[in-house]
Amino acid sequence: DGGITQSPKYLFRKEGQNVTLSCEQNLNHDAMYWYRQDPGQGLRLIYYSQIVNDFQKGDIAEGYSVSREKKESFPLTVTSAQKNPTAFYLCASSITGTSGSGEQFFGPGTRLTVL
Amino acid sequence: GENVEQHPSTLSVQEGDSAVIKCTYSDSASNYFPWYKQELGKRPQLIIDIRSNVGEKKDQRIAVTLNKTAKHFSLHITETQPEDSAVYFCAASNRNTGNQFYFGTGTSLTVIP
């Protein structure tokens, strides 16, 4: 069953703690992305990776870190330096290059709440 | 970088009427424009997309138009149904330099039965 999965679905964190959100895909996509979604706002890009062992900052990377050790996995760590981490986090993946569909496929999301 | 603006932020229509959502973008190098539908608590899903070498694309009740000169594109939904109620996002990307999407802020569409 192909797709992109995220875990956990809900996550609660105390202030000052780091937490890691999981994202896995079996679509054989080279590119993976992390977005943050806040009420009334669009999706804002945190980090993206177009190939294993390489990633770039998006528009709101401060307070976040990522790794891309495997093609299938792109975990996001929300560090204590992120001032307002409560949000809905979405992971996505896509093929790279200009041929074929440019669609990004989204995971079901993780809702992070800081207590 | 790219800046995408989307209007209106909320839209209510009677069932059977048409709905139009408009987006503008700033980077003339953008060449791919997808539209996503997101139901409450769910993941965004692609409903239609258009490349910069095409001016219009239709898929049943949904159509997208693109004006490259004016740098704007629009989503048209005809014969709206209650199940069309959702938040719709437009996005722009340059597939020649990676596929990073720049999203609009979304339009909450309500179709009144």
User: pLDDT tens across A74-108, in order?
Assistant: 999 999 888 899 999 999 999 887 777 789 999 99
Q: How many CB pairs under 8 A join A and B?
A: 60
Tokens read off for B18 = 């048409």
The H or E element spanning position A114 is strand A110-114
Per-residue pLDDT at B76 exceeds 60: yes
Q: Mark yes or no for CB contact B43/A109 under 8 Å.
A: yes
Q: Mark yes or no for CB contact B44/A94 under 8 Å.
A: no
Cβ-count burial A28-47 (b if 16+ within 10 Å, e if not): ebbbbbbbbbeeeebbbbbb
Per-residue pLDDT at A1 exceeds 60: no
DSSP calls for B41-93? TS--EEEEEEETT-SEEEETTEEEEEETTTTEEEEEE-S--GGG-EEEEEEEB
B104: nearest CB among A42, A50, A90: A42
A103: nearest CB among B6, B34, B100: B34
Q: Tell me how far apart the alpha carbons of residues A49 and B29 are, in angstroms, rounded to a whole number.
A: 21
The distance of B76 to chain A (nearest Cα, Å) reads 19
A33 touches chain B (CB under 8 A): yes
Per-residue pLDDT at A51 exceeds 80: yes
- Residue A15: per-residue pLDDT: 87
Q: Mark yes or no for CB contact A33/B104 under 8 Å.
A: no
Q: Mark yes or no for CB contact A102/B6 under 8 Å.
A: no
- Are B11 and B110 in contact, with CB atoms under 8 Å apart? yes
Q: Which of B22, B28, B7, B4 is nearest to A45 (CA)?
A: B4
Q: Mark yes or no for CB contact B99/A94 under 8 Å.
A: yes
Name every chain B residue with its beta carbon within 8 A of the beta carbon of A109: 43
- Are A18 and A8 in contact, with CB atoms under 8 Å apart? no
Place A34 in a pLDDT band, splitting at 50, 70 and 90: very high
- Report the range of poorest mean pLDDT among A102-106, B22-26, B76-80: A102-106
B103: nearest CB among A43, A102, A108: A43
Name the amino acid, one letter, at B41: G
- Are B15 and B22 in contact, with CB atoms under 8 Å apart? no
- Are B93 and A102 in contact, with CB atoms under 8 Å apart? yes
A60 touches chain B (CB under 8 A): no
- Residue A2: per-residue pLDDT: 61
Q: Which of A83, A84, A52 is nearest to A66 (CA)?
A: A52
Burial class from Cβ neighbours inside 10 Å (0-12, 13-18, 19+) for residue A113 reads: exposed
